[in-house]
Amino acid sequence: MTSKSNLVINPQRLWDSLMETAKFGGTARGGIKRLTVSDEDRRVRDWFKAQCEALGCSVQVDSVGNMFATRPGRKDMLPIALGSHLDTQPTGGKFDGVLGVLGALEALRTMVDMGYETNAPIMIVNWTNEEGSRFAPAMLCSGVYAGVFTPDYAYSREDRDGIKLGDELKRIGYLGSEPVGTHQFQAMFELHIEQGPILEAEGKMIGVVTGVQGMRWYEVMVTGQESHTGATPMLLRKNALLGASRMIEAIHQVGLAHLPGVASVGLIENRPNSRNVVPGEVFFTVDLRHPDEAVLDKMEASFRAALGPAADKEKLTYEEKCIWKSPAVKFNPELIECVRKGAAQAGFDMREMASGAGHDAAYIARVAPTTMIFVPCLGGISHNEAESTTLEECGAGSQVLLNAVIEYDQKFA
Ligand code: GLV
Ligand code: MN
Ligand code: MN
């Protein structure tokens, strides 16, 4: 058997795969638009399946489209999982999620090339709908896996055109036959770009991720009255967009008042969205995050308290509902130690950090020991077509992922 020190990943091969998959939904500005369970998602899934099968893996799909590619180990036991997501934001980059899946694929290719046999089987997972952009909430199907949501809840999620996730899964051929939870594993490592500026600013290659901050999503509908822009005097308007804009400013202030918390409005629909109609209805979403649940409670209360006065001022009504809460998560100390050792073994500078972004690992941590590995991204920019991480950084992440998994696997020797 090959010794673990011989396992060196091939950064160029990883990079070539990243660039190859970037064509599935590739945009003119160098990013990717690969919304979950779209035709582009189907194409990248087919590619991923073929690559894994070429490595001798068996590939299964569960009933919410999660994909599991397994390479047997020397022993008959639960696998060690390496996973992330292949879906992207509407103006996503080439690395968010994709690096976690393809970095795992590169780790597996390296093991196969070197004839290295792990004790436990190795399983690469592609989780369905991590982004939550097309179908809210985020981390949906890792959430189903973790028992947070039912499959029926996932199927019933609608995009902004009223199309259901379940129907789309069927249409693209990824409504699998395996009940969710069939593919159990004993631990999961997720490689990801940091999506923030800290590693780059400190010149560190590896983020040893200790947890994920809490997140809450809300939807707000503001109702006023459509009327003629030319004929309705300023003081007689019920302008839903004006009320919504005052709410959005107040929500921004909630973030500023609870640093390092963040508060964002990212999706807004103005109706009827005609230049000579006073807007009668506005729908928008709210995203609040903080590492401390007690502070998140305060952020929620102050955001809610700001809505009434903003509506009253413009003679509007509104409805607000919380559609998702993902509590703060702490990762598993044993796996964190494996990442630390894996980074040290490869000679990379590292620092501990919490994740500002949500990840499938946050839900998987409820049902299996889990942790994450971060690598830098240029300027900390993500959820942006300009998202950029170098070949060396991608390779470093994949190498540390491989080292950490091998370290963990040693305990089954
Ligand atoms: C997922 O990308 C999130 O953090 O919203
Ligand atoms: Mn991601
Ligand atoms: Mn993302």
The full set of domains in the chain, from first to last, is 4-213+328-412 (3.40.630.10), 215-326 (3.30.70.360)
Q: What is the pLDDT of residues 296-334, one digit of tens each?
A: 999 999 999 999 999 999 999 999 999 999 999 999 999
Tokens of 108: 């597996």
Q: What residues are in contact with ligand 1 under a 6 Å CB criterion?
A: 131, 138, 357-358
Contacts of 351 by beta carbon, 8 Å cutoff, 6+ apart: 198, 199, 202, 204, 206, 207, 208
Q: What's the whole-model pTM score?
A: 0.96
Q: What is the pLDDT of residue 1?
A: 45
Q: What is the pLDDT of residue 269?
A: 98
Q: What is the pLDDT of residues 14-57, one digit of tens each?
A: 999 999 999 999 999 999 999 999 999 999 999 999 999 999 99
Task: Give me ligand 2 centre to Cα 215, in Å.
Answer: 14
User: Would you say residue 119 has pLDDT above 90?
Assistant: yes
Task: Give me ligand 3 centre to Cα 161, in Å.
Answer: 21
* Region of residue 396 (left: phi > 0; alpha: psi -120 to 50; beta: else): alpha
Residues 73-92 have a mean pLDDT of 98
Distance, CA of 44 to CA of 19 (rounded, Å): 12
Ligand 2 (single-atom ion) residues, CB below 5 Å: 96-97
Q: What is the pLDDT of residue 80?
A: 98
On whether the CB atoms of residues 32 and 93 are closer than 8 A, the answer is: yes
Q: Which of 32, 129, 131, 381 to mutate to test the pocket of ligand 1 (most atoms within 8 A of CB)?
A: 131
Distance, CA of 231 to CA of 188 (rounded, Å): 62
Angle between helices 39-54 and 98-113 in degrees, nearest 10: 20
On whether the CB atoms of residues 354 and 172 are closer than 8 A, the answer is: no
Q: What is the pLDDT of residue 74?
A: 97
Closest by CA to 17, choosing from 404, 398, 400, is 398
On whether the CB atoms of residues 18 and 101 are closer than 8 A, the answer is: no
In eight-state DSSP terms, residue 375 is E
Closest atom of ligand 1 relative to the 97 alpha carbon: 2
Task: Give me ligand 1 centre to Cα 413, in Å.
Answer: 37
